[in-house]
């Protein structure tokens, strides 16, 4: 007999389908702890959470429980980049060297900032092996990027920059603002909006974070040496989990450092409110103007990656994952956001004025449908 999950929170009456799917993820799809939030036209219409935040102690998931959201972090950094564009401080089509002169070594002098966001720079992995201490210190990774020749001729192919993405666009933000990206995001976005979303977790929040559980073994794992070096930063940490099954990003030092492409910690409401604020009035005018959203939702790359698993339809804008059926359908052509390893998903859509956030602690593999089913339920409710 399947134990009925304890689901808390609320959903507007016309969004009951989302609540049904969220509950069924626990009953039928092995959910352990999770939360989902949806804003429509600036108003929260879904705020649901349930299950266990830390199976080691039985600590329940609450309305305030955050969790590492992995590559949803990339969307956070892309939002920061577009804010700098709107302030006239960043030109996405200018060479990176305008902001970061030391970057222009070993054939990288003509790479535009946009290619850092579209996974076209040829820097998906680094030749230098790094220690965890070096990765957490920021500057050693920046120096390694400066010394790295591109792995392919930039602009001619794309491969997912699983970790280096964060330092690439993050150092541009750093050079422009004088702040590391986590501090810039905190001051410019998170604090004004009241988000429980951090890139660099405060010590006071450490005990609230959910404990991530490793995904089940993949019977047919994708193996590519370049992709493996990229996702582990040359062996600095195992990803997603070490041989004993411990998820590396449970490490408090990693959460505090704010690995810039994968280390954000957030509640579902934090992500949903962030994207809602990008496309609708939440605490003032939308964060992103129409020109930014127009630019962000242009498909820049798609198709088979140079170093990546078989193509399943992913379409990439400048820093964002876009509506990408069948692998990751969102609401439509005006949707932009990012998913994260294990099942997390966050996005906005200005045509629908929707902000969506879904976070989990039971990681799953590529065939995971939990987030897609929730997105489909939101779409059904909007269309009803």
Q: Domain range holding 12? A: 7-79+183-383
In a domain, 173, yes or no: no
Residue written as tokens 């704010």? 258
Rounded Cα distance between 213 and 32, Å, is: 9
Residue 84 lies inside a defined structural domain of this protein = no
In the block, tokens 């577009």 appear at 82
61/125 Cα distance (integer angstroms):
36
As given in the structure block, the two tokens for residue 108 are 């990288």
Enumerate long-range contacts of 48-51, CB under 8 Å, 24 or more apart: 48/7, 48/8, 48/9, 48/10, 48/11, 48/18, 48/19, 48/22, 49/7, 49/8, 49/9, 49/268, 50/5, 50/6, 50/7, 50/8, 50/9, 50/22, 50/23, 50/26, 51/5, 51/6, 51/26
Residue 48 lies in a domain: yes
**In a domain? residue 140:** no
Distance separating alpha carbons of residues 200 and 186, to the nearest angstrom: 9
160 lies in a domain?
no
- Quick check: is 32 in a domain? yes
Task: Decide: 74 and 166 in contact? Cβ < 8 Å.
Answer: yes
End-to-end CA distance of the chain: 34
Residue 269 in any domain: the answer is yes
The predicted pLDDT at position 1 comes to 36
Long-range contacts, 247-253 (Cβ 8 Å, 24+): 247/212, 247/213, 247/214, 247/363, 249/68, 249/70, 249/212, 250/68, 250/211, 250/212, 252/201, 252/206, 253/132, 253/136
Within-domain flag for 94 = no
Count of residues for the chain?
A: 384
- Count how many domains the chain has: 1
pLDDT per residue rounded down to tens, the chain (384 residues): 345 678 999 999 999 999 999 999 999 999 999 999 999 999 999 999 999 999 999 999 999 999 999 999 999 999 999 999 999 999 999 999 999 999 999 999 999 999 999 999 999 999 999 999 999 999 999 999 999 999 999 999 999 999 999 999 999 999 999 999 999 999 999 999 999 999 999 999 999 999 999 999 888 888 899 999 999 999 999 999 999 999 999 999 999 999 999 999 999 999 999 999 999 999 899 999 999 999 999 999 999 999 989 999 999 999 999 999 999 999 999 999 999 999 999 999 999 999 999 999 999 988 899 999 999 999 999 998
CATH number at residue 199: 3.40.710.10
Handedness of CA 250, 117, 89, 274 (dihedral sign): negative
């Amino acid at each position: 007999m399947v134990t009925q999950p304890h689901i808390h929170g609320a959903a507007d009456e016309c969004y009951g389908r989302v609540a049904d799917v969220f509950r069924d993820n626990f009953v039928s799809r092995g959910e352990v702890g999770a939360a989902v939030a949806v804003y429509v036209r600036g108003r929260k219409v879904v705020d649901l959470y349930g299950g266990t935040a830390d199976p080691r102690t039985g600590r329940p998931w609450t309305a305030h429980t955050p969790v590492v959201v992995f590559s949803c972090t990339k969307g956070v950094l892309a939002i920061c980049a577009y804010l700098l564009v709107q302030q006239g401080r960043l030109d996405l089509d200018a060479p990176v060297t305008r902001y970061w002169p030391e970057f222009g070594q070993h054939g990288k002098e003509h790479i535009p900032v946009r290619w850092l966001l579209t996974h076209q720079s040829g820097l998906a992995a680094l030749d230098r092996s790094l220690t965890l201490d070096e990765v957490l210190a920021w500057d050693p990774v920046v120096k390694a990027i400066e010394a790295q020749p591109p792995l392919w001729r930039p602009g001619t192919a794309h491969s997912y920059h699983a970790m280096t993405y964060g330092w690439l666009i993050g150092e541009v933000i750093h050079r422009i603002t004088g702040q590391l990206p986590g501090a810039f995001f905190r001051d410019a976005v998170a604090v004004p909006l009241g988000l429980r979303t951090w890139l660099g977790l405060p010590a006071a929040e450490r005990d609230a974070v959910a404990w991530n559980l490793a995904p089940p073994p993949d019977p047919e794992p994708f193996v590519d040496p370049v992709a493996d070096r990229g996702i582990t930063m040359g062996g600095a940490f195992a990803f997603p989990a070490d041989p004993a099954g411990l998820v590396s990003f449970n490490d408090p030092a990693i959460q505090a450092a704010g690995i810039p492409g994968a280390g954000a910690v957030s509640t579902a409401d934090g992500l949903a409110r962030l994207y809602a604020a990008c496309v609708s009035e939440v605490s003032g005018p939308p964060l992103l103007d129409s020109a930014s959203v127009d630019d962000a939702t242009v498909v820049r790359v798609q198709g088979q990656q140079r170093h990546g698993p078989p193509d399943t339809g992913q379409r990439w804008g400048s820093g964002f994952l876009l509506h990408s059926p069948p692998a990751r359908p969102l609401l439509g052509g005006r949707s932009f956001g990012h998913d994260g390893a294990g099942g997390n998903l966050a996005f906005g859509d200005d045509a629908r004025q929707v902000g969506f956030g879904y976070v989990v602690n039971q990681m799953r593999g590529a065939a995971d449908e939990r987030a897609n089913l929730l997105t489909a339920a939101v779409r059904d409710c909007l269309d009803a």
